[in-house]
A and B are shown apart, each in its own frame.
Chain A
Amino acid sequence: MRIRESIRISWRAITGHKLRSTLTTIGIVIGIGSIIAFMVLGGAFEEDVLGGFDTEDQTLVLVQTQGEVDGGFGFQTFSDPIYTQNDVEAIERIDGVEFVDPDGTIPASQVRRGSETTVSFTVRIAKPASFSKNVSGSFVAGEAFADEGEAVIDTELAESLGGNVSVGEEIRVTFTDGTRRSFTVSGIYAAENQAPGTGTSVYVPADPYYNVTVDTHRGTEAIAYSSLTVWVDSIEDLSAVQSAADEYFHSGESDAEHLVDDDKQIAVQTFDALLAQVGEIFDQVTIFIAGIAGIALLVGAIGIANIMIVSVTERTREIGIMKAVGARQRDIVQLFLVEALILGIIGAIGGVMLGIGTGYLLVGYAGFPMIYPIDWIVIAVFVGIGVGIVSGLYPAWRAARVDPIEALRRE
């Protein structure tokens, strides 16, 4: 029998029982939908974090405090101030280090520009040189601050302050300790590729505003930062610097290792390694979701098989008639396989639509850019086809074995 005829006949059987066919495909729709939704979300997250820039060329080493996430996947980064000025200077003495950019925030309650104010913002410390590194973005106007009376604001903060901020304008920051300070905007920076939640910032020089101090194990009081970005002269020096810095923080000499909480570690990583670590978590979650989706698909397959067996039983008489007028076993197998296949494809298409729709909503909610995981969509459709075929095999075989004489005696 021609495939086109089987499709026509099977399609009629499917549309003849719309409700039943719909229910049958739900397992597949959910299984494939959850995979696609997750892939959309994951892809969008990655796109948001990386934005397509080349991580391999980043000549930096990150020094961060990490710890386990309670009952969750992967790790978490902490911002306890433990990296002292002493540590910064020690790292800067390592061969191949260009400079160290310590990260820290200064508690502040309000920033105002003329009559515009906002309270949701962060004051971060930075070194002028770090702005020239492409990892964090580029200036849309002006340049880095040159002295302590100047500050850089990012484009998000500029928006919060009414937009159209120009270089040379004054902003007033009220710090949490009660002091107020005016800054001249020296530049407006478009921060790209940031992790979510780090936007809307004012960047100021650490000196003299940053004065978080800790008591070191040596009995001194020292300024301490929450993480360090170590800029390296060239890509060739990267791994040597990384291992030297790693060694330093585990040698007993650094202040940080004495200050770090017992359940946390100091991680010294290249950007690549950090992303690989994030990627690993991602993979774990993917396996978890794939497991759930797999169960849904299995349920879907059993659903299709079940419905098909019911349908074979119901249509025994029709199968008998078809055999009596010349259908071979393989024609009957073909008919039922095509029917299962169509159900599988419908389930896959429904799942892809559900997944993209759900992903779109989640991505919009999280503020990530929308992406379409084409490769996963293709895989999903093939999985749907596969599930259809596998679950149709047994019912089709049963249908093919129907004895026409017995079948025709049925009422």
Chain B
Amino acid sequence: MARTDRGGERTGTGVVAARNVSRTFFLGEPVHALRDVTLTLEEGSFTAVMGPSGSGKSTLMNLLGCLDTPDQGTIEIDGRSVGDLSGAERARLRGREIGFVFQTFNLMPRLTAAENVSLPMVFNDVVDADRRERARTLLERVGLGDRLDHAPNELSGGQRQRVAIARALANEPTLILADEPTGNLDSETGREIMDLFDELHAEGRTILMVTHERHIAERADRIVTLVDGQLERIEDVSDVVPSGPTVLDDRDAPTEPDGGEGA
């Protein structure tokens, strides 16, 4: 887990912020995926994002993860506007400082689990032996130590999700963006993954996590709710009343609208 794995210097992501960000897609009718969203992620903070399907959660993640650029407003990482960075600098941020767990996993279909986890390190010039060692460690950490050489199509949905999580941690990112990381997991595995996120949080990393489940969201410091592309509210978890006894039916389909947070 040594941070000396990486070539070059770390810049860290520091404070990550979206300032008055809008994002509109044009598919015939314009779709306003995000409207004037302002959100600041303090260094080391843990934020949960909730909101119904189509409310713009993944769009926000993509913007903060330097994969997409806003139509209006700015994304700032450590005080620098992402729009001012070159393509190579953005790629470097994505590769070294940001760990992305995609809602749809986005694993390379022809690579094994271990190779998928190694991929970010390949682009970061980590030597072969170190990569393999680290991929094994990470996969063991998400409970897949016995699936190193399986291709994604030989893994269950939940296992793929955990490979995606392990891959996001490959380069020891300072910012972790996780889009429903427990969406496909049973409550037991989900809890283990949440414990992992707690550990990552304790290590001082900045975490933003999309979830549809209130009790999962409550493990964060803050809960941000998006509705229709707009920031509806930001709650500090210490302020809110815990949402009753946790129902153990965790396996909501991720695409299902989740209006249950309106209490």
User: Smallest distance from the beta carbon of A84 to chain B beta carbons, Å?
Assistant: 83
Contact of B123 among A16, A317, A320, A322 (CB under 8 A): A322
User: Smallest distance from the beta carbon of B103 to chain A beta carbons, Å?
Assistant: 10
With A325-B100, A326-B123, A328-B123 already in contact, the answer to whether A318 and B108 are too (CB < 8 A) is yes
Which residues between 84 and 103 of chain B lie within 8 Å of chain A, taking CB atoms? 87-88, 91-92, 94-96, 100, 102
Q: Is A323 an interface residue (CB 8 A)?
A: yes
Q: Is A1 an interface residue (CB 8 A)?
A: yes
With A12-B110, A405-B67, A408-B106 already in contact, the answer to whether A327 and B123 are too (CB < 8 A) is yes
Contact between B110 and A325 (Cβ–Cβ < 8 Å)?
no
Q: Is B71 an interface residue (CB 8 A)?
A: no
Q: Which residues on the A side are within 8 Å of B96 (C-beta)?
A: 326
Q: Which residues on the B side are within 8 Å of A1 (C-beta)?
A: 122-123, 125
Q: Is B184 an interface residue (CB 8 A)?
A: no
Beta-carbon contacts of A310-335 to B below 8 Å, as 1s and 0s? 00000001101111111111110000
Which residues between 325 and 376 of chain A lie within 8 Å of chain B, taking CB atoms? 325-331
Q: Is B124 an interface residue (CB 8 A)?
A: yes
Main secondary structure of the interface of A (DSSP, over half): helix
Q: Who on chain B is nearest to A405 by CB? A: B68
Q: How many Å lie between the Cα of A337 and that of B68 in the bound state? A: 26
Q: Who on chain A is nearest to B124 by CB? A: A326
Q: How many residues of A contact B (CB 8 A)?
A: 23
Q: How many Å lie between the Cα of A318 and that of B94 in the bound state? A: 16
Contact between A321 and B123 (Cβ–Cβ < 8 Å)?
no
Q: How many residues of B contact A (CB 8 A)?
A: 28
User: Smallest distance from the beta carbon of A17 to chain B beta carbons, Å?
Assistant: 11
Q: Is B120 an interface residue (CB 8 A)?
A: yes
Q: Is B161 an interface residue (CB 8 A)?
A: no
Contact between A16 and B108 (Cβ–Cβ < 8 Å)?
no
Q: How many Å lie between the Cα of A323 and that of B65 in the bound state? A: 12
Q: Is B171 an interface residue (CB 8 A)?
A: yes
User: Smallest distance from the beta carbon of A327 to chain B beta carbons, Å?
Assistant: 5
Q: Who on chain A is nearest to B95 by CB? A: A326
Q: Is A5 an interface residue (CB 8 A)?
A: yes
Beta-carbon contacts of B101-113 to A below 8 Å, as 1s and 0s? 0101011111000
User: Smallest distance from the beta carbon of A410 to chain B beta carbons, Å?
Assistant: 10
Q: Which residues on the B side are within 8 Å of A329 (C-beta)?
A: 87-88, 91
Contact between B106 and A321 (Cβ–Cβ < 8 Å)?
yes
Q: Who on chain B is nearest to A327 by CB? A: B123
Q: Which residues on the A side are within 8 Å of B38 (C-beta)?
A: none
Contact between B123 and A331 (Cβ–Cβ < 8 Å)?
yes
User: Smallest distance from the beta carbon of A259 to chain B beta carbons, Å?
Assistant: 79
Contact between A325 and B123 (Cβ–Cβ < 8 Å)?
yes
Contact between A327 and B91 (Cβ–Cβ < 8 Å)?
yes
User: Smallest distance from the beta carbon of A48 to chain B beta carbons, Å?
Assistant: 53
Q: Who on chain A is nearest to B171 by CB? A: A326
Q: Is A2 an interface residue (CB 8 A)?
A: yes
Q: Is B119 an interface residue (CB 8 A)?
A: yes
With A1-B125, A322-B119 already in contact, the answer to whether A328 and B92 are too (CB < 8 A) is yes
Q: Is B35 an interface residue (CB 8 A)?
A: no
Which residues between 80 and 102 of chain A lie within 8 Å of chain B, taking CB atoms? none
Contact between B108 and A323 (Cβ–Cβ < 8 Å)?
no
With A2-B125, A326-B95, A327-B123 already in contact, the answer to whether A321 and B108 are too (CB < 8 A) is yes
Q: Is B160 an interface residue (CB 8 A)?
A: no
Q: Is B167 an interface residue (CB 8 A)?
A: yes
With A321-B108, A325-B95, A330-B88 already in contact, the answer to whether A408 and B102 are too (CB < 8 A) is yes
Q: How many Å lie between the Cα of A10 and that of B23 in the bound state? A: 36
User: Smallest distance from the beta carbon of B61 to chain A beta carbons, Å?
Assistant: 11
Q: Which of A1, A321, A329, A330 has the most CB of B within 10 A?
A: A321
With A1-B123, A5-B122 already in contact, the answer to whether A327 and B108 are too (CB < 8 A) is no
Q: Is A404 an interface residue (CB 8 A)?
A: yes
Contact between A405 and B62 (Cβ–Cβ < 8 Å)?
yes
Contact between A404 and B95 (Cβ–Cβ < 8 Å)?
no
Q: How many Å lie between the Cα of A9 and that of B68 in the bound state? A: 26
Q: How many Å lie between the Cα of A331 and that of B120 in the bound state? A: 12
Q: Which residues on the B side are within 8 Å of A5 (C-beta)?
A: 122
Beta-carbon contacts of A169-209 to B below 8 Å, as 1s and 0s? 00000000000000000000000000000000000000000
With A405-B62, A408-B106 already in contact, the answer to whether A325 and B94 are too (CB < 8 A) is yes
User: Smallest distance from the beta carbon of B31 to chain A beta carbons, Å?
Assistant: 13
User: Smallest distance from the beta carbon of B180 to chain A beta carbons, Å?
Assistant: 15
Contact between A328 and B87 (Cβ–Cβ < 8 Å)?
yes
User: Smallest distance from the beta carbon of B210 to chain A beta carbons, Å?
Assistant: 15
Contact between B94 and A324 (Cβ–Cβ < 8 Å)?
yes
Contact of A326 among B107, B109, B120 (CB under 8 A): B120
Contact between A324 and B171 (Cβ–Cβ < 8 Å)?
no
Q: How many Å lie between the Cα of A321 and that of B91 in the bound state? A: 12
Contact between A328 and B91 (Cβ–Cβ < 8 Å)?
yes
Q: Which residues on the A side are within 8 Å of B171 (C-beta)?
A: 326
Q: Who on chain A is nearest to B63 by CB? A: A405
Which residues between 125 and 148 of chain B lie within 8 Å of chain A, taking CB atoms? 125
Q: Who on chain B is nearest to A13 by CB? A: B110
Which residues between 29 and 76 of chain B lie within 8 Å of chain A, taking CB atoms? 62, 65, 67-68
Q: How many Å lie between the Cα of A113 and that of B76 in the bound state? A: 104
Q: Which residues on the B side are within 8 Å of A16 (C-beta)?
A: 110
Contact between B106 and A326 (Cβ–Cβ < 8 Å)?
no
User: Smallest distance from the beta carbon of B112 to chain A beta carbons, Å?
Assistant: 11
Q: How many Å lie between the Cα of A318 and that of B170 in the bound state? A: 18
User: Smallest distance from the beta carbon of B114 to chain A beta carbons, Å?
Assistant: 14
User: Smallest distance from the beta carbon of A5 to chain B beta carbons, Å?
Assistant: 5
Closest 8 CB pairs of A and B: A326-B95, A328-B91, A325-B120, A326-B123, A327-B123, A405-B68, A328-B88, A321-B106
By a beta-carbon cutoff of 8 Å, the part of chain A in contact with chain B is: 1-2, 5, 9, 12, 16, 317-318, 320-331, 404-405, 408
Q: Other than A2-B125, A329-B91, give 10 A-B pairs with Cβ distance below 8 A.
A: A1-B123, A12-B110, A320-B106, A324-B94, A325-B100, A326-B171, A328-B87, A331-B123, A404-B67, A408-B102
